[in-house]
Chain A
Amino acid sequence: MSKVSARPLRSGWRYRANVALRTIVGTVGAYGVAALAAAALARTLPMARVEAVTIATLMAYMVAPAVTIWAFLARGPWRAIAGVALAAAALGGIAWIAGQPA
């Protein structure tokens, strides 16, 4: 059994599900993490509010492709999902704790 699974399966529902999950993580998940990164950075960067917002927005566009790459390079689709969920939770938590600046 393990001999068979050591080769990458290029067809069958397992492979398709694997690719489908990674694709969702790499697109929808990437956007979600980028959006939360923008929110967290906009609230925490130590500079004037408007500058924090612009820099945060810029950074968000770099976060998204990084997550896309992660989604495809992670060992296994579940690990990809876990990584994205963890990043989203951490960034969302930071944004929530920081609160909207006055």
Chain B
Amino acid sequence: MSGTSAMVRDGARQAMAWLHGWTGLLFGHILFIMCLAGTLSVFKPEISRWMRPEVSGQADPVRAITAATDWLSANTTGSTGWYLAAPDGRSNVVEASYDSGGAYLSRALDPASGAPVARDTLGGEFFYRLHFELELPYPWGRLLASLAAMLMLVAIVTGVIAHKRFFKDIFTFRPAKGQRSWLDGHNALGVLSLPFHVMITFTGLLTLASLNMPWGMTAAYGDDLMALYSDLTPGAVTKAPTGTKATLAPIGPMLARAQRHFAGAPVSRVYIFNPGDSGAVVTVYPVETASIGYLPAEISFDGATGKVLKAWTEKRAGIRTYQTIYGLHMAHFAPLLTRWLYFLGGAMLTLAIASGMVLWIVKRRERAPLSIGNRLLERLNVGGLAGVPIGMAAFLVANRLLPLGLAARAQQEVSVALWSAGAALLLGLVLPPALGWPLLLGLLAALCALAAAMGPIWAGDVTVMAGNMLLTAMAVALALLVWKQLRRRSAPTPVRRRMAPA
């Protein structure tokens, strides 16, 4: 036997543990942001609802889209496209992205009047974008998210192989034992919903396939990616604007025709290309609650005449497979219980990442005094792991506090979130961790409580009320944690278990 074959049996596990630790160390913070934002994105429409309390009640998708197109026709100039998402059982506004006079805008349109709602906010979209764009410009945020996801796949694979007692770990938890407890917690969180972690990482990578794995596409299509897109959605039509003005034909009948094509499924996304031009095209997609698959069908109309140009129902096995896997990540299909399971799985993954990062420090601290590098990492952990949720909670508070008439209000909310997270990170770096942890977690608890109180607590809307209750529960849980931390600090220091031999 040579030395290298011994590596196979014993060293491989060790090397994997090493790789698991280092990928976690390098990408832990990015993965923590992605997983936390992704977990919250499961309830993206509900968060949007909480953030727009002025719009209440349920809206009819056809009437809302009609109102939206009427308003856009009267209030935009020189648009190349209007991209609308109709209200459904969860969202109650029309989410619109459009350009007017050369400016690109994203607004929530009131389902009755079609005009932008008074409280200009990104709503749940902020968390959704943060999840895969990390507040970085295109394509860098998405590329970084892809890289982090790939390394997470590596971390999961190596984490599993590095385990000696895989199934035992599910049922093992030894609390209040320092490193042992953190390791047990990390293992249990990672292993218990491992199928979810693998699924969500794998399917997440796939959603950004055109950026992170474009080689099959270029191998088969070369530079002609337009051909790929038209092959993927044969019911979509691309037309160049003619330059001749033409009013949009009534959209109601088009939506009714679309719904018939979708076998009764309500319309969801409505894309209007070249509006106001005789070369206008209206493409309609159904809601994705009937099956897991993404984009199950589409139908395109001539915008000027309202006649059907092309209709398509997806039945190709290869494409359905791809769309189903894509849809598994988006979870648009998920009924309430499944959505909560997604949330739970995401929360466990977020906590597995956070506990892994803390474990890195705890493990080293119990052996010897921390090196300068590890002391810096310890403080980065405080600032990052507490700072990111602080930024998110500050975002919710800003939503209630910023005046409605403020210019670029939606962007100001995001600025508040980023500056708060940045300030928390700085505090984490300058304060000793024993003080930084309780202080920042206490701050987070206060922000959650404040957001809930301004909900307002007596809100009539069920979604707003549920949000307030969850925020309150979060605040209470954090307050208990802080109280425990402070009590332990004032208690006499327990005898170190791993003393250096006297």
Contacts and interface: CB of A to CB of B under 8 A. Distances in A.
Interface in A56-84: 56-58, 60-61, 64-65, 68-69, 72-77, 79
Nearest to B13: A72
A60 B151 CA distance: 15
Contacts of B253: none
Contact of B157 (A10, A18, A69, A77): A69
A84 B205 CA distance: 22
A73 B12 CA distance: 6
Given A27-B151, A36-B215, A39-B215, A55 B318 contact: yes
Contacts of B6: 6-8
Interface string A1-28: 0000111111000010011001100110
Interface string A28-52: 0011001110111111000111111
A51 B318 CA distance: 5
A87 to B, nearest CB: 15
Interface string B9-42: 0111011101100000000000000000000000
Contacts of A73: 8, 12
Given A60-B216, A76-B4, A49 B231 contact: yes
B10 A72 contact: no
A1 to B, nearest CB: 10
Nearest to B220: A42
B368 interface: no
B495 to A, nearest CB: 30
A89 to B, nearest CB: 16
Contacts of A48: 231, 316, 318
B3 A68 contact: no
Given A6-B2, A10-B14, A23-B19, A50 B231 contact: yes
B12 to A, nearest CB: 5
A53 B221 contact: yes
Chain B binding site: helix, strand, loop or mixed by DSSP? helix
Given A6-B3, A35-B213, A26 B154 contact: yes
A22 B3 contact: no
A41 B318 CA distance: 13
B318 A42 contact: no
A76 B12 CA distance: 10
B83 to A, nearest CB: 23
Contacts of B317: 51
B75 interface: no
B222 A58 contact: no
A75 B4 contact: yes
Given A19-B18, A58-B322, A53 B161 contact: no
A9 to B, nearest CB: 7
B319 interface: yes
A16 to B, nearest CB: 10
B321 A22 contact: no
Interface in B218-252: 218-222, 228, 231-232
A61 B161 CA distance: 19
Contacts of B191: none
A54 B233 CA distance: 13
Nearest to A14: B3
A39 B322 CA distance: 17
Nearest to A43: B219
Interface in B170-226: 202, 205-206, 209, 213, 215-222
B12 A100 contact: no
A38 B4 contact: no
A100 B219 CA distance: 6
A57 B316 contact: no
B5 interface: yes
Interface string B438-470: 000000000000000000000000000000000
B287 to A, nearest CB: 23
Nearest to A55: B318
Of the listed residues A5, A49, A54, A61, the one surrounded by the most CB atoms of chain B closer than 10 A to its CB is A54
Contacts of A38: 213, 215-216, 219
A34 B7 CA distance: 25
Contacts of B476: none
Contacts of A43: 219-220
Contacts of A77: 4
Interface in B293-334: 316-319, 321-322, 325
Of the listed residues B6, B154, B216, B316, the one surrounded by the most CB atoms of chain A closer than 10 A to its CB is B216
Contacts of A88: none
Contacts of A76: 2, 4-5, 7
B158 interface: yes
8 contacts: A35-B213, A36-B215, A53-B228, A55-B318, A65-B153, A65-B154, A68-B154, A68-B158
Given A5-B2, A26-B19, A64-B150, 7 more contacts: A8-B14, A43-B219, A52-B318, A54-B319, A57-B209, A57-B216, A75-B8
Closest 5 A/B residue pairs (Cβ): A51-B318, A38-B216, A42-B216, A39-B219, A76-B4
Interface of B: 1-8, 10-12, 14-16, 18-19, 150-151, 153-154, 157-158, 161, 202, 205-206, 209, 213, 215-222, 228, 231-232, 316-319, 321-322, 325
